[in-house]
Structures are given as C-alpha cells and as structure tokens.
Structure 1
C-alpha cells in the first residue's frame, strides 16, 4: 500500500480548509490503495491554533488516514533532531533556513518534505489555506484523483485511461515526477488594484520578472498571462495531459511531487512570493514527465491582506520576488541548457548541478536589480496613495533588499548541498512521529 503525505502549511485561520482537506484525504483512501498522512504545519497564533485543533478533532475517523497537526515548537524539535543527525555544516543556520521567523513559502514546504520522508511517504501533495475546492453537482472536485492515478508511475503506464499523451516517446520510460493543476478565482498575486488604477503601471511592474534580454512582445505576453491561472473556467469534466508541464500552467496550491523533492529543496527565501515554485521549473527543464489536469482550485484573498500592515507585507514580498528573478532567470537558463544532463544515470536530479548554478548566479552584477527597484519606485509613485507610501519605505530599504536577494540564493545553494543528508536523517528520525487528534 502506498503511503502519501497530503499537506497544508498555514499561518492563518482556516478551519474550513482543514475540514475540506480532511474530505480529500478520505476520498483518497476510498478510491485508491493508499495510506494518507494528513500533515498540517501550523505557524498561527495560539487562539487560531486552538481553533485548528478543534477542526482536526472534528475530522471523521478513517483507519487509513493519520492526522498530524504540528505547531512550531514541535516542528522545531523535529528539525533539530534531523539536523543533528545529518551532521551538516552550520547547523544553527540550517535550522533558521528550515524554520525562519519571517514568512517563507519555500521553507514551510521544505518542512513538509522532511516530515514526509520521516513518515515514509513516497509523495507530497500540497494545498494552501487561502483556497478551496471547486464543486460539481454539489460535490468537491479533488486534485488527488489525478495525482494518485499517475504520480510515480512510469509515463507509459500513466498514459492509460482518460489521460491524453503529449510526450515524446523517448520520455515514456521515465517516472511521472509531478502532477499539478492551476487555480480559478482571484489573481494568485494581489495586484488587481494596480491593474484597475493604471494598466501602464501594471505592465511596468509585472514585466519586471522577465529576463532582461526578452523582447517587448515577449514581455507583453508574459504580463497578459501572469498570475491568472485558469481564469474563470469552471470544472465540468476531467481533462488531463501527460506532458512536460509548462510551469505557467500549474500552481503550488494544487501540486504533488514524487522523488524530485527528495533531491532538491525549495529556495528558503523569506518574505518573497514565488520562492516555492522552483521544483516546477526543475521538473520541466530536466524533461521529467508530469501530468497537467483541470481540477483547478479556487483562490481567494483573506481579510488580512486588506489591512495596512497586510498591504505593506504583501508588497514587500512582491518586490522581493522581482529581485529574486535576477538570479532565478540565470539559474533557469542554465537548467534549460543542461536539460536531461541534470539527471544522473538512474534518472534522478543531480542536486550538485543545481547548487552550482545557484552559486554561479551570486556573482551577477546587481545593476539589473537596481533598475528593477527604480521601475517599481516610479510606477508606485505614479499610482499615489498607499503605493507612494510604500515607495518611500522601499527607498529606505533598497540596500537591505539588494543584499537579501543575493543572500537568499547563497542560502539556497547551501541548503541544496545539505539536502540529501537531511532527507536521509529525516527518514531515520521517523520513529519519533505519531499521529494525534487534540482533545
């Protein structure tokens, strides 16, 4: 029987999402020969954590679903054991990269990867707390249906049934490393107001994540499709394609990995949106098969983003995303050039290649990022209001942000070099983990 990890990282109130993901876990055991470890990694405040514990306790019993609801103290204790067992360089820094004080989309998912290894799970299936499932005839449409039908199988076996094949024959012997879908509803990045206020400013800002050498037309196309997911398309029937999945067609709220997450971690950058999308690019560039399906998840915004503090925090993460792209565009270009050379003789990703590209990128001139900051400053001052206020804050933090962007890539290289040891140590530490339902 396969053992899988269905995970929900959260730092916000989401009892309804916990109830819904509990339903997805039950669907998985009812329709597939699997054991599900439902892993909720909770960084919320004590009152919210208690509400989540109540939601966990209310989940129906299922003999093949084990629920793990872990706060940061429990996560830290586990990580400390793993890091000590792995005997890696700079253990204190390693713990900070795995469980930073600030928000990190990559780090929270990396923790799920290590917990999954400890629990003996062969795949990780991630959902987000600010999303919900679509309905068909009143019933939820669960992505785990396609994930378990294909993930980990050889591509030739995954091509049966309702899955259309758009994969070159030379890839059919490889295993399916990723199954993913997109989202509908709100933009994945909360910038719709910018587009409404000034489409020109929206273009100027969103185009900043393109490589510098792209043409104006390429940048326009990128802006047009960025952060939209599947738009407003609603689910009516299943469609799935076995292919080399375009990273622009899937989202981390609707993703599952097999194998690749045990070879390379996600960048642990703090306060940076998009830092958790790296493996999607890696799977594509290494020519590993994936399945793209249309069981898209509904994205929505929580009330916190509408507060002044929430606005500043989110705009900070947005700007730092652009700064990270100076380095990631370089890494993605090298990965695309390497292609299947990113894999070893057994078809597994060579982590050493990724860490080498990351270290090479840190030598890049920061002039490109200075220009990015100048463009954001000009666009936000043109927008006025709270955007102009954020531009003032950004001006005060320019040098810090530039240094942090480069430091984040150095940290990613370091973590990648240690990742194999951490995964093995997590597997050895698994005996300490037990499922629980808080009373």
Structure 2
C-alpha cells in the first residue's frame, strides 16, 4: 500500500480548511488503496497554532490516516537533523533556505517534500489555506481523485482512465510526474484593483513578467490569461487530459507530484510570489507526462490582504516576482531547448543540469531588471494614492531588491545541488524526537 502526503502549509488562521482537507484525506482512503499522511506545516503565531492543533485533534480517526501538525520549532529540529546527516557544505545557509525568517512559498513546500520522504510517501499533494473545494450536488469535488488515479503510473496505463490523451508515443513509457488543475474565483495575484482603476496600467504591470524580447501581441496574450486560473465556470462534470501540461493551466494550490520533487526543489526565495511554480515548468520542459483535470479549487482573499500592511507586503512580493523573471525566463528557455537532455537514462530529472542552468542565469546583466523597476515605478505613479506611496518605498529599496533577485537564483542553484543528498538523509531521519531525546 503506497503512502501519500497531503500537505497544507499555512501562515494564517485556517481551522476550517484543516477540517476540509481532513475530509479530502478521508475520501482518498475510502476510494483508493493508500495511506494518507496529512501534514500541516504551521508558521502562525502561537494562538493560531494552538487553534490549528485543536483542529487537527478533532479530525475523525481512521487507521489509514495519520495527521501531523508541526510548528516551526518542530520543523527546524527535523531540518537540522536532516542537513547534518546529509553532510553537505554550508549547513547553516541550507537551514536558512529551508526555513527562512520571512515568507517563502517555495521553502514551505520544500519542507513538505523532505518530510514526505521521511514518512515514506510516494507523492506530495499540496493545498492552500486560502482556498476551498467546489461542490457538485452538495458534495465536495476533491482533486485527490484524479491525482491518485494517475500519479506515478506509466502514461500508457494511465491513458485508460482519463478523458483524452495528447501525448507523443515516445513518452508513453514515462511515468506521470504531475497531476493538477487550477482555481476559479478571485485572481491568484492581488492586482485586480489595478485593472479596475486603469486597464492600461494593468497591462503594463502584468506584461513586465514576460521576456523583454516578446512581441506586443505575445505580451497582450500573456496579460489576458495571467493569474485568472480557470475563470469562473463552476464544476459540472469530470474532464481529464493526459498531456505535457501547460504551466499556465495549473496552480500550486491544486497540484500533486511524483518523483520529480525528490530530484529538484522549489526556489526558496523570500517575499516573492511565484517562487513555488518551478517544478510545473520543469515537468513540462523535460517532457514528463502529466494529467490536467478540471476539479478546480475556489480561490479567495483573506482579510489581511485588504489592509494597508497587507497591500504593501503583497505589492513587494509582486515586484520581487517580476525581478525573479529575468533569471527564470532564461532558465525556462534553456530547459525548453534541452528537453530530454534534462533526464537521465531512467527518465528522471538530472538535478545537476537544472542547477547548472540556474547558476548560468545568475550571471545575466541586470539592466533588464533596472528597466522593470523603472516601468513599475512609472505605472504605480500613474495610479497615484497608495500605489504612488508604494513607488516611493520601492525607489528606496532598488539596489537591495536587485541584489536579492540575483542572490535568490544563486541560492536556488545551491539548494538544487544539495537536494538529492537531503532527500536521501530525510528518508532515514525520524520526523520527531521523543521527550527522552530519541527520535521516532
């Protein structure tokens, strides 16, 4: 019986979501021959962490579901033991990259990857605390249904259980590395107000994540589909496609990985949206099969994002995302060129190839990012109000942000080089220690 890790990283109150993910775990064991490790990785304040612990305790017991709720102290203890056992260089830096003192979408998911290895799980299934499940005739529609139907199977075999197949014959012997869908509801990036205020400024702000050499038409197309997920159409019936999944069609709130997450981590950049999407591109560019389905999750904004503090924090994360794309656009282009060369003789991703591309991109001229900051500054000042005030803040941090963007891609290369050793160490590292000091 295979073990799976259904994980919910969180830094916000989400007791209701924990209960809902618990019900998805119950669905999984009722319909599939699996053991579920439900993993809540908690980075909240003590009061919210305590509420989450209580929510986990209230989950109905099942012999094939084990719930794990780890606060940051427990996560740090586990990570320190893994890093020590792995024996690589710069252990303190690796610990900082795995558990930074600032928000990191990539790092929180990387922790889930390592813990899943420690728990003996064959796959990782990620959900987000600011999302809900759709329903059909009053019953929740769980993505884990499609994930467990196809994930890890030979594509040739998985094809019997999907609606359609669009995969080249030479890829049918490869295993399904990713199953995912997207979301409906509010934009995944909190810039809808910009579109309402000035559609032209919205175009300018969103198009900044495209490669600079793209045509105006390519940028318009990118803006038209960016951050909108699957739109607003509710779920009515299942559809699934075995294919090379377009990265624009899936979201990290609704994703599952097999094997690839044990080869390459996610970029651990802090305060940067989109830092957790790298594996989606890697799966596609390496020619690994995936399944795209339509059990989309409902995205919504928490109240904190509507506050002045939340606004500033989120706009900064968006700005850092734009700067990261100087490097990631270059890496994605090189991965697309490499294709099958990203894989070893067993059809698995070669981490060394990915790390080399990341290190190479770190040497790019940062003039493109200077131009991005100039364009973003001009766009925000055209909007005025709190956007102009944010432009002032951005102007005061220009050099620091430019330096951080380069350092982030260097850190990603370092972590990728160390990743397989960390995964091997995690497989033999107990998740928690007993009060006596022994691990279990």
TM-score bracket for the superposition, by shorter chain length: over 0.9
Aligned mates of 1:225, 1:79 — CA distance in 2: 38
Counterpart of 1:246?
A: 246
Q: After TM superposition, give the deviation of residue 433 of structure 1 in Å.
A: 6.9
Aligned mates of 1:162, 1:140 — CA distance in 2: 20
Q: Is the 8 A contact 1:381 1:391 kept in 2?
A: yes
Q: What is the correspondence of 1:18-57 to structure 2 with a 5 Å cutoff?
A: 18-57=18-57
Are residues 217 and 431 of structure 1, via their aligned partners in 2, closer, same or farther at CA, if it must alter by over 3 Å? closer
Question: Is residue 2:299 matched to residue 1:299?
Answer: yes
Question: Is residue 2:426 matched to residue 1:397?
Answer: no
Q: Is the 8 A contact 1:10 1:128 kept in 2?
A: yes
Are residues 431 and 381 of structure 1, via their aligned partners in 2, closer, same or farther at CA, if it must alter by over 3 Å? closer
Q: What is the correspondence of 1:272-291 to structure 2 with a 5 Å cutoff?
A: 272-291=272-291
User: What secondary structure, in the 3-state scheme, does the structure 2 residue paired with 1:148 have?
Assistant: helix
Q: What is the correspondence of 1:402-421 to structure 2 with a 5 Å cutoff?
A: 402-421=402-421
Counterpart of 1:122?
A: 122
Aligned mates of 2:169, 2:68 — CA distance in 1: 41
User: What secondary structure, in the 3-state scheme, does the structure 2 residue paired with 1:241 have?
Assistant: strand
Counterpart of 1:96?
A: 96
Counterpart of 1:87?
A: 87
Counterpart of 1:336?
A: 336
Aligned mates of 2:430, 2:218 — CA distance in 1: 47
Q: After TM superposition, give the deviation of residue 162 of structure 1 in Å.
A: 3.8
Q: What is the correspondence of 1:150-229 to structure 2 with a 5 Å cutoff?
A: 150-229=150-229
Q: Is the 8 A contact 1:272 1:321 kept in 2?
A: yes
Counterpart of 1:141?
A: 141
Counterpart of 1:71?
A: 71
Q: What is the correspondence of 1:365-384 to structure 2 with a 5 Å cutoff?
A: 365-384=365-384
Cα deviations by residue, 1:264-318 (Å, 9 ceiling, x for unpaired): 0000000000000000000000000000000000000000001111111000000
Q: Is the 8 A contact 2:150 2:161 kept in 1?
A: no
User: What secondary structure, in the 3-state scheme, does the structure 2 residue paired with 1:160 have?
Assistant: helix
Aligned mates of 2:5, 2:343 — CA distance in 1: 25
Q: Is the 8 A contact 2:74 2:432 kept in 1?
A: no
Give the ranges of 4+ consecutive aligned residues of structure 1 lying more than 2 Å apart after TM superposition. 430-434
User: What secondary structure, in the 3-state scheme, does the structure 2 residue paired with 1:287 have?
Assistant: coil
Q: What is the correspondence of 1:298-317 to structure 2 with a 5 Å cutoff?
A: 298-317=298-317
User: What secondary structure, in the 3-state scheme, does the structure 2 residue paired with 1:430 have?
Assistant: coil
Aligned mates of 2:211, 2:369 — CA distance in 1: 11
Aligned mates of 1:58, 1:78 — CA distance in 2: 25
Aligned mates of 1:345, 1:169 — CA distance in 2: 18
Question: Is residue 2:255 matched to residue 1:255?
Answer: yes
Q: After TM superposition, give the deviation of residue 431 of structure 1 in Å.
A: 6.3
Counterpart of 1:437?
A: none
Q: After TM superposition, give the deviation of residue 378 of structure 1 in Å.
A: 0.3
Aligned mates of 2:161, 2:227 — CA distance in 1: 31
Aligned mates of 2:433, 2:315 — CA distance in 1: 37
Q: Is the 8 A contact 1:245 1:289 kept in 2?
A: yes
Q: After TM superposition, give the deviation of residue 149 of structure 1 in Å.
A: 0.1
Cα deviations by residue, 1:17-65 (Å, 9 ceiling, x for unpaired): 0000000000000000000000000000011111111111111111100
Structure with more relative contact order (C-alpha pairs < 8 Å, separation 6 or more):
1
Using structure 2 for the length normalisation, give the TM-score.
0.98
Counterpart of 2:327?
A: 327
Aligned mates of 2:9, 2:433 — CA distance in 1: 17
Aligned mates of 2:420, 2:224 — CA distance in 1: 39
Counterpart of 1:7?
A: 7
Size of the aligned set, in residue pairs, is: 434
Counterpart of 2:59?
A: 59
Cα deviations by residue, 1:216-247 (Å, 9 ceiling, x for unpaired): 00000000000000000100000000000000
Structure 1: state its 5+ residue gaps. 435-439
Q: Is the 8 A contact 1:120 1:430 kept in 2?
A: no
Counterpart of 1:107?
A: 107
Aligned mates of 1:395, 1:431 — CA distance in 2: 44
Counterpart of 2:271?
A: 271
Q: After TM superposition, give the deviation of residue 163 of structure 1 in Å.
A: 3.0
Q: Is the 8 A contact 2:162 2:242 kept in 1?
A: no
CA RMSD of aligned residues (A): 0.8
Structure 2: state its 5+ residue gaps. 435-440
Q: Is the 8 A contact 1:119 1:433 kept in 2?
A: no
Cα deviations by residue, 1:377-406 (Å, 9 ceiling, x for unpaired): 000000011000000000000000000000
